[in-house]
Structure 1
Amino acid sequence: MLQLIYKRSQSMKADVLSGLTVALALVPEAVAFAFVAGVDPLVGLYAAFMVGLITASIGGRPGMISGATGALAVVMVSLVAQHGVEYLFATVVLMGILQIAAGIFRLGKFIRMVPHPVMLGFVNGLAIVIFLAQMKQFQIADADGVLGWMQGEQMAIMLGLVALTMAIIHFLPKLTTAVPSTLVAILAVTGLVIGLDIDAARSVQDVLADMTGDASASIAGGLPQFHIPMVELNIETLKIIFPYALILAAIGLIESLLTLTLIDEITETRGRGNKECVGQGVANVATGFFGGMGGCAMIGQSMINISSGGTGRASGISAALFLLLFIMVGSSWIEIIPVAALVGVMFIVVIGTFEWASLNMMRKIPPSDAIVVVTVTVVTVLTDLAIAVIVGVIVSALVFAWKHAKHMLVETSMHNNGFLKVYKPSGPLFFGSVQAFRDNFTPKFDPQEVIIDFANCRVMDHSGVEVIDSLVERYQKAGIDIHIRHLSLECIQLLKKAGSVVEINRAEDPNYKVADDKLA
């Protein structure tokens, strides 16, 4: 059931107008990503319509816009080149099934494991990617099809219209917020170009012509038709499409859930990650059966939507329906929009998306966090969002492990006139700290009786359990009586060699879990 019940802070009018603005910006993006993937423009447009409509209706984040994206397109291109578009449709269906499974098994919660420095790097990197993607609009092809930068009057007009668009978007809200400033800017710049008959201003139709090599190229089309992918249903097909589907599902969910988190912070509300996984999956399954290239959340269009006042489900639904309307009956209107107006809109998105405060933070935050921010930003720009986030999480985890490995301290005290030595370790005992833990014990020089008291030390993983076992073995070989106190029940169950020397006191022994598959 569509959740179109509005709170006082939401407005149907704002959502619909914001949806129209987003739809105008979606057209060139969807077409461009379709060409990146090596498919027909309508394959990208249908994906933007269907993914956008379904995720807006049943997804977990009202106000977030989904559609065909570049992060997915760059993965799809090799599949299409080697096996054809029908295999792409089958892959998108399988991708959707994997995403639904991720939602059912509640894997969306793991997005909480992405540290804040990784989020900063993700946002900054994506802002740079969006900016760089607009640079090709300042290039034109010569008679031989070679791209080159605009020159003279054409460049001046392009820059002027971009600046005018950005000025309207920035200053209009200071006068009125009755209509989205982004929509007004697009309409005003389009009216100016048509009214003054500025031939040097490139339009969406000019971009289509450059991409296709056909001067009469258009986005016009009909309703998407149900189509079962024409592939052989056998294990060989599965071997081809499954690796792509797995990668696409992961990239789609990472980008969607990170965008969801960003919008949560901006709107001070909370989306539902697992529900979004299911919504994205259902959308991609449907898209694969209707001739679309699949998709995920789009941070640029989502930022346009939120900044234009679109915070409800109706904004995403209206954006998708307007896009379908453009495809079916309004293609001639969309194709006359100056590209400069859309570039200006995206430049405003870049300025709003980039975390400028992070530049000042670099001097205040720990160097390790600064390295993570820069690393994720650079990897996002040079490779892919999913790879960047994975790299960032791994680097952050290693930094975390390294820092906490230094927290392992061991206090010692002598009792019974030097015949008893008590070790009191404190801090987490895990794979990163086992060496520091081990180095504090000296069986060759210890007295006949030794006690290791774990009251202030928590064993975190199997590496910690193993080092206790090996330590007890060292003391036993040296002929020293060793006693272990205050271990949790799980630790005791995992110990092989040291179990017999553990002193059990149910009233004082701690109760905590140990990360170990043997207890699963």
Structure 2
Amino acid sequence: MSSSKPSRLTSLICGEFYDDSSRPKLAPKQVSIEILSGLTVSLALVPEAVAFAFVAGVAPLVGLYAAFIVGLITALFGGRPGMISGATGALAVVMVSLVMTHGVQYLFATVILMGIMQLTAGALRWGKFIRMVPYPVMLGFVNGLAIVIGLAQLEQFKIAAPDGSMRWMQGEMLYTTIGMIILTMLVIWQAPRLTRLVPAPLAAIGVVTAVVIGFGIDVPRVGDLASLAGGLPAFAIPSVPFTLDTLVIIFPYALILAAIGLIESLLTLNLVGDMTEQRGGASRECAAQGAANLVTGFFGGMGGCAMIGQSMINVKSGGRTRLAGVAAALFLLAFILFAARLIEQIPIAALVGVMFMVVIGTFAWHSITTLRKVPRPDALVIITVTAVTVVEDLAIAVVVGVIMSALVYAWNAAKTIQASKRPSVREQGAIVYDIKGPLFFGSATGFRELFQIKDDPDTVIIDFAGSRVVDQSALQAIEDIAAKYHEVGKTVMLRHLSRDCHRLLSQSGQLIIDSDDDPEYKVAVDYRVRQGAFQAGH
């Protein structure tokens, strides 16, 4: 079957990251699903943006403006249609100390610098390095974020006491709130069986809101968090001194925020890509996140990144294109400008119920049984990344997981280095060591132990046809072996070096090159080793 090239409009709305078989059809039904999904996401964004603004120590509108601007720009230009971005808790917890110490204007300047850093990462195409994150780290990331999202909802079970402090709900209000949450979750579970025209979370929010208002049930509502009313975000340059001292203050925060934002965004990009059958777009997402935060800082927003919870709501509600993200951002702005009082009537329990269903759908439940089937180091990585995500933050968790996985790989690869010994066919009286496995820092010690220097003849050929010389530790190991043979009056030759190994050894000055391998006639050249290219310090 021949594939037809999508129209320019389809490519613009759906993005270029789908193949022909998975690309959504822009039929009226799909467009309505996208818009309704955007409405659902926008409703779920409200309490999150307000709550994260409180965490960061800024006004609610600062969080709402960030959700609108970051959400709009990343939806229009990001690398994963269907992914939702906005103000997030992972960034808010870093911002709070800056705001408390220096004020909100320094936060805006930091967000601008954060955006510049992310734009630079996109321009340098650093997004491709996300492919280095192993699958066990992804599982730990998903599970950890699901737990974090769930724990964040517990804050909604607190109400203001007469003295202004926050205390846990009790009695009838607690039982009623739990009942409304359960009702929300039941509607989300059953709604797809009745209709798929309206996203299940949106139907649940509508049903529970109608019940609460119709029966006059006393439960906390969105308006109890803060007023959502406001105007359009206004352009303003942050009121901070343009001095080196200011840069010293904001640079560390900007670097941490940029790293956390990109890590969370790129991992969410991979997750959404797996669910919607999209590929690529990592560096483009870095640039879009950077542009969004750069603009947000000039318009009084707290910055943001991809939101796994809202992205899951969107994808599971049918959102597959840029329309859903754009609709969510525009609906959120409409709430701020025109419908604040209406949205403030939504019971928080309905939104908590939606997020609990997101937690259930996001957590990789199969990973629990997988722990007994996968290698123990991988199981440990999954558990560690999950725990660190919950206790510390996502960026640290991912770095820890990648380092653990790299060390496990290095340890396993180091054990594969081995050699077989045979007489040389071409060199009379010489011995050939056929090396198998990569030669790098982890296997360098094992490599040195392969040779029987005293028993070997005057000429020894080390054949790397089944190996690769990877790093400086490998170069040093080769020179050490050559030096030991040289001390007893014997010569070492290197054979079958791959192109990159040849280049590495040539640049280090270790090869004495009389002629190179002739690939046309398949003639392998034996290279002598120059002594003293590296001086090992002991």
Q: TM-score range by the shorter chain?
A: over 0.9
What per-residue deviation string (whole Å, max 9, x for no partner) do you get for residues 394-416 of structure 1?
A: 11111111111111011123569
The answer on 1:394 being equivalent to 2:393 is no
The alignment status of 1:253 with 2:262, answered yes or no, reads yes
Q: Secondary structure at the match of 2:266?
A: helix
Aligned position for 2:505: 492
CA contact (8 A) 1:469 1:495 kept: no
1:51 matched to 2:64? The reply is no
Tell me how far apart the structure 1 counterparts of residues 204 and 330 of structure 2 sit (CA, whole Å). 21
Which 10-residue stretch deviates more, 233-242 or 286-295? 233-242
* CA distance in 2: counterparts of 1:66 and 1:189, whole angstroms: 26
Distance, in Å, in 2 between the alignment partners of 1:131 and 1:412 is 60
Are 2:502 and 1:483 equivalent residues in the alignment?
A: no
Match of 2:221 in 1: 203
* Aligned match of 1:134: 153
Amino acid at match of 1:469: E
Say if 2:349 is the partner of 1:340. yes
Task: Give the whole-Å Cα distance in 2 for the aligned partners of 1:278 and 1:418.
Answer: 61
Over 3 Å counting, the alpha-carbon distance change for 1:503 and 1:4 in structure 2 is closer
Q: Deviations over 1:271-296 (max 9, x none)?
A: 51111111111111110000001111
1:83 aligns with 2:102: yes
Aligned equivalents of 2:171 and 2:391: distance in 1? 31
**How many angstroms apart in 2 are the aligned matches of 1:159 and 1:338?**
12
Residue 472 (structure 1) aligns with: 482
Match of 1:376 in 2: 385
Tell me the TM-score normalized by structure 2: 0.89
Q: Which residue of 2 aligns with 1:213?
A: none
* C-alpha RMSD over aligned residues: 2.1
Equivalent in the alignment of 2:433? 423
CA distance in 2, matches of 1:9, 1:405: 52
The alpha-carbon distance between structure 1 residues 495 and 271, as it changes in their structure 2 partners (threshold 3 A), is closer
Most deviating of 345-354 and 235-244? 235-244
* C-alpha displacement of 1:500: 3.5
1:144 is aligned to 163
Residue in structure 1 matching 2:323, options 314, 335, 338? 314
1:437 to 432, 442, 447: 447
Q: Report whether the alignment pairs 1:172 with 2:191.
A: yes
Q: Counterpart of 1:277 in 2: which secondary structure? A: helix
- Contact conserved, 2:80 with 2:278, CA < 8 A, in 1? no
Deviation larger for 166-175 or 485-494: 485-494
Matched residue pairs, number? Answer: 500
Q: 2:69, 2:504 → 1: CA distance?
A: 52
Answer whether contact 2:38 2:324 (CA < 8 A) is retained. Answer: yes
Q: CA deviation at 1:456?
A: 1.4
SS at match of 1:223: coil
- Runs of 4 or more, structure 1, over 6 Å off, are 415-418
Given that 1:424 and 1:454 are in contact with CA atoms closer than 8 Å, whether structure 2 keeps it comes out as yes
Q: Distance in 2 between matches of 1:405 and 1:227?
A: 56
Shift of 1:180: 0.8
1:455 and 2:465 are equivalent in the alignment: yes
| Aligned match of 1:243 | 252
Deviation at 1:101, TM superposition (A): 1.1
Most deviating of 234-243 and 319-328? 234-243
Check whether the contact 2:232–2:337 (CA below 8 A) recurs between aligned residues.
yes
- The reply on whether 1:218 has 2:227 as its aligned counterpart is yes
Query: Deviation of residue 421 (structure 1)?
Result: 2.8
Q: Deviation of residue 484 (structure 1)?
A: 2.0
- Counterpart amino acid of residue 500 in structure 1: I
Secondary structure in structure 2 of the residue aligned to 1:4: helix
Mark the runs of 5 or more structure 2 residues left unpaired by the alignment. 1-7, 15-22, 526-533
After superposition, where does 1:274-285 map in structure 2 within 5 Å?
A: 274-285=283-294
Q: Structure 2 counterpart of 1:120, which letter?
A: L
Query: Which segment drifts farther, 160-169 or 8-17?
Result: 8-17
Structure 2 residue 44 is the aligned partner of structure 1 residue 35: no
Match of 1:118 in 2: 137
| Alignment correspondent of 1:505 | 517
Q: 1:93-104 residue pairs with structure 2 within 5 A?
A: 93-104=112-123
Of residues 143-152 and 110-119 in structure 1, the stretch that sits farther from structure 2 once superposed is: 143-152
One-letter identity of the residue aligned with 1:178: L
Distance in structure 2 (CA, Å) of the matches to 1:444 and 1:418: 19
Report what 2:17 is aligned to. none
The one-letter code of the counterpart of 2:505 is I
Describe the SS at the equivalent of 1:26: helix
Percent identical pairs in the alignment equals: 59
Deviation at 1:145, TM superposition (A): 4.0
Larger mean Cα displacement after TM superposition, 239-248 or 120-129 = 239-248
SS at match of 1:444: coil
C-alpha separation in 1, matches of 2:166 and 2:110: 33
Q: In the alignment, what sits opposite 1:296?
A: 305
2:290 counterpart SS class:
helix
How far, CA to CA, are the matches of 1:392 and 1:492 in structure 2?
32
In the aligned structure 2, how far is the partner of 1:9 from the partner of 1:367? 46
CA contact (8 A) 1:466 1:495 kept: no
Q: 1:250 to 1:480 in 2, by over 3 A?
A: same
Matches of 1:310 and 1:451, distance apart in 2: 62
Calculate the TM-score normalised by the size of structure 1.
0.92
Aligned counterpart in structure 2 of residue 412 of structure 1, from 421, 427, 430: 421
How big is the shift at 1:148?
3.5
For the residues of structure 2 that align with 1:341 and 1:460, how far apart are their CA atoms?
56
**What is the CA–CA distance in structure 1 between the aligned matches of 2:449 and 2:428, rounded to whole Å?**
21
SS in 1 for 2:198: coil
SS in 2 for 1:257: helix
Aligned to 1:226, what secondary structure does the other structure show? coil
Partner secondary structure for residue 233 of structure 2: coil
Q: Retained in 1: the 8 A contact 2:134–2:405?
A: yes
The equivalent of 1:190 in structure 2 is: 209
**Aligned equivalents of 2:508 and 2:81: distance in 1?**
50
Cα deviation, residue 349, structure 1: 0.2
Note the C-alpha offset of 1:363: 1.1
Structure 1 pair 487–160 and aligned structure 2 pair: CA distance change class (3 A) = same
Provide closer, same or farther for how the CA distance between residues 146 and 83 of structure 1 changes in structure 2, counting only shifts above 3 A: closer
